[in-house]
Every structure is written in C-alpha cells, then in structure tokens.
Amino acid sequence: MEYQNSAEFAQQLDEQDALNSFRQQFLIPQHAGKDAIYLCGNSLGLQPKATQQYIAHQLSNWQNLAVEGWFQGDDPWLQYHKQMLQPLANIVGAQPAEVTIMNSLTVNLHLLMVSFYQPTPKRYKILMEGGAFPSDQYAMESQVRFHGFDPKDAIVEVFPRDGESTLRTADIVSKIIEHADELALVLFSGINYYTGQLFDLQVIAQTGHAAGAFVGFDLAHAAGNVPLELNAWGADFACWCSYKYMNSGPGGISGIFVHEKHHQNRKLNRFAGWWGYRNDTRFKMAPGFEPEAGAEGWQVSTSPILLMAAHKAALQIFEEAGSIPALRAKSLKLTAYLQYLIEEINGQHGDELFKIITPKNQQERGCQLSIICKENGKATFDYLASRGVIGDWREPNVIRLSPVPLYNTFTDVYTAARHLAESVRA
C-alpha cells in the first residue's frame, strides 16, 4: 500500500476498516476533554466497556448465592474458567485441553519450570535471549540456583551482533547447536519487550528439540498480538499475561499452555494443589495427588472469579472480531503506517532523528515500534504526553509506541506522528 502523510488519508483508511467499530467497545482515557491517543497496549490494554458488567454480575452472584455460587446460578464458579478455554486456545493456536487460566505470569513460569527444567550434571543449561524482561531473568536465575548451579555458567544468553539491535535467527540456532549437549531448556520470549522483535518460535522449537532440550515460551507481548500455533510448533509449554493485548485489567489473570504430548507423562515433576486434582473425584478429598487431564492438571489454587470475569469480557471481544488473522491484518497496516510517518519526519530533516530498532520486516514484529531519539529522548516522550499521546518510556533512550487493532485508528497514528514531528521544533 502507498501511504500518504495527511489527515484525509488516515480518515479514509479508518472508513475502510472493517474492525473500526470495535473501538466503541473500549473506554478511552481522556486528555484535555478529548480522547487521548493511547499507544501503550503493549504495557496495559484498555478497559472494555463490558468489564464492569461482567464483574458486577459475579458480585451479584456472590451477594445472592454466597458459597453456593460455586455450584448454583446461571454461571457456577466451579466450571467458570472452562468457558474461556476455547477462545483462549484460538488465540494461542492450541487445543482447549492444552490451555488453562491461573495465577500470574511469573508464578506460572516458575510452576512450569518445575516440570520442564529438570537439570542433570550434564544437561543443566538454560538458553534465553539476552535482554529478556527482568522477571524472566530473575526467575531463571533463581531456578538455576535452586538446583545448585551457578547462573553465570548455567544460563546462556544470545545477544545481537555488534552494531545491531535485534537477534538473527541463525545466531539463535547456532547458539542452541553450540550448547546442544548441555541444554536442559530453551526458554525464549515470543516478542522481546524492549525492541519489539518477534522471534521465529517454530524454528526455535524445532532446533531446541533436536538438541534434546525442552522448549518453552513467555508470550507476554505475543498473546493477543500476533498469530501463534503452539500445538503445531510442538512447544512443550508457554505462559502469558492477559493485561496487555488481551485487555483483562492491571495484574489480570495469566494463562498457560502444556502440549498434549505431555498430558499423560507422570514422570514430569509438578507442584500440586487441590484445584489441579481430577475433577470427577476432587470432592472425595482423597490423599495422593491425581492430576486432571490436560493443562488443568497444573492448576494449584482456587480460581479468582472476579479476575476471570474481567478476562471473559475481554476474550468475548476477540471472539466477536472473528480471528487473530483479521486483527493481524489491520495491525500490520497500522504499524506500517506509523513506520512510514516516522521515516517521513526523518526524510524532511535529512537525518535519522528517530531510529526504529524494531525489525522493518513485518513478519518479525507485532504492534510495537521501539524508537530511539537522536536527541532529547525523555523530553520528546514528555512532549508527546503533554499532547495526549500515551506511549511508554524505557531506559535509557527508547520510546515504545503500539497501535492496537481493536481500539486504535489510523487517525490515532497520524496524529501521534504529527505531534512527534512538532516535538523536533519544540
């Protein structure tokens, strides 16, 4: 598509957008009496208008039924999470039995590593991307120490080449092969939080398995953002948060994926809880843990119904939108338009004032563009905020802007870029 740097062109794209009406299902933050330009869905998604209704319904059930709400009413809590398994499976490319909803992201990462990080004196290393989100770094460091190994030796990080901002798939593959005899686990993000790079998860899974290691993914920035095929790729496990692109509220409930090939593997360690016990005999309260079939067997604690109600409201919008591929098609156009407008600013000034470190190849990124300002990065970010453009600042010098297809418009993108251009003069 040939883009144009004009408000009229952006409006024309909005009029042609089949998903444009979904914006009306969200509450948009206000700035100076108008809708803010919210480009921070990579950090916290917007609140669906239906969220209050879904939570209020469960508060009413709590009020009227009290403890009997687990078994009675129009939405018994005991099976409440099951309503969301198919929509969630559609988002991550899984079978419904391979996913469940529980806890928060880092808690789930630890629980899954209990099963899939089983080091031996020979195979004890974890391979990850350099510069992963700190939670992942801390989780892996603590898991390695828990098993008696030194993180400096046991954790292998893959960094970009000198002078480059993102990783090459060939270098990831090469590093896995280099450490193949010592790897217990390959654990990568789906999308790097800082650069916005989407990794080739299929290739990583295939290479990790060929090396004899388990392979898992942290999909915090990928779930609800890009097409995923966890079952087909053969990933052993994955986990994600729901408060970014899935719009389920600050600190919203997390989810996990465990591939069906592991569902009957009783040799896998796991930390057990009553909520993961087999459903048909759970209330007999018998000693000895017998897990429920599928990913639900990794559940530990009681379902937090109010968090799940917010999640259900958000997942319903994904179902109405039709499919992740439909959202992806709009996302590619939105992000490409933002890239075009930033390059226009650079061209007008004859200099790369705003360097995009996110891959220019559309297949290697999601909604997010990460931008380094040549000068006055934090001042530029503050200027955008003063004009109602809500993005995200990451030290030492990156502004992250993420146009989300469910609620952002091409006019949002055009206006944000216009304010970015004005920031140069300011």
Q: pLDDT value at position 217? A: 98
> What digits encode the pLDDT tens for the residues 354-389?
999 999 999 999 999 999 999 999 999 999 999 999
pLDDT for residue 224 is more than 90 = yes
In angstroms, the CA 347 to CA 345 distance is 5
Ranges for all domains in the chain classified under CATH 3.40.640.10:
55-320
Quickly state the pLDDT bin for 330 (edges 50, 70, 90).
very high
Q: What's the whole-number mean pLDDT along residues 342-352?
A: 94
Would you state the pLDDT for residue 359? 98
Residue 78: CB atoms within 10 A of its CB come to 14
Distances (CA, A) of 214 to 102, 120, 127, 297: 22, 13, 11, 19
The pLDDT value given to residue 109: 98
Instruction: Take residue 212 and report the two structure tokens written for it.
Output: 């004899």
pLDDT at 352 over 90: yes
Over the stretch 95-118, which tens digit does the pLDDT of each residue have? Answer: 999 999 999 999 999 999 999 999
Comma-separated ranges of CATH 3.90.1150.10 domains in the chain: 7-35+323-425
Residue 418, SS3 per DSSP: helix
Q: Round to whole Å and give the CA distance between 221 and 223.
A: 6
Give the per-residue pLDDT at 313.
Answer: 98
Task: Give the separation between CA 379 and CA 373, rounded to whole angstroms.
Answer: 10
Long-range pairs for 369-378: beta carbons < 8 A, 24 or more residues apart = 369/196, 369/335, 369/338, 369/339, 369/342, 369/400, 369/401, 369/402, 370/194, 370/195, 370/196, 370/394, 370/398, 370/399, 370/400, 371/342, 371/398, 371/399, 371/400, 371/401, 372/397, 372/398, 373/397, 373/399
pLDDT attached to residue 266: 85
Instruction: Please count the CA atoms within 13 angstroms of the CA of 202 that sit on its side-chain side.
Output: 8
Query: So what's the architecture of 7-35+323-425 in CATH?
Result: Alpha-Beta Complex (3.90)
pLDDT at residue 323 greater than cutoff 90: no
Region 316-335 average pLDDT:
95
- pTM value is 0.96
Residue among 199, 278, 211 at smallest CA distance from 238: 199
pLDDT computed for residue 1 by the predictor: 85
- Whether the predicted pLDDT of 13 surpasses 90: yes
Q: DSSP string spanning 32-73?
A: TTEE-EE-BTTT-PPEETTHHHHHHHHHHHHHHHGGGGGTSS
Closest CA to 411 of 9, 25, 3: 9
| Element housing 256 (H / E) | strand 255-258
Q: Which residues, in sequence order, are bridge partners of residue 126? A: 155, 185
Give the mean pLDDT of the chain: 97
Q: How far is CA 204 from CA 168, 174, 214, 358, 403, in A?
A: 12, 11, 11, 20, 27
Q: Is 414 exposed, middle or buried (0-12, 13-18, 19+ CB in 10 A)?
A: buried
Which residues have CB under 8 Å from 58's CB, separation 6+?
69, 75, 77, 305, 306, 309
User: In this predicted structure, which of 107-116, 183-192, 279-288, 327-336 has the lowest mean pLDDT?
Assistant: 279-288
Residue 322 is predicted with a pLDDT of: 87
The CATH number assigned to the domain with range 55-320 reads 3.40.640.10
**pLDDT over 90 (residue 253):** yes
pLDDT tens, residue by residue, 123-168: 999 999 999 999 999 999 999 999 999 999 999 999 999 999 999 9
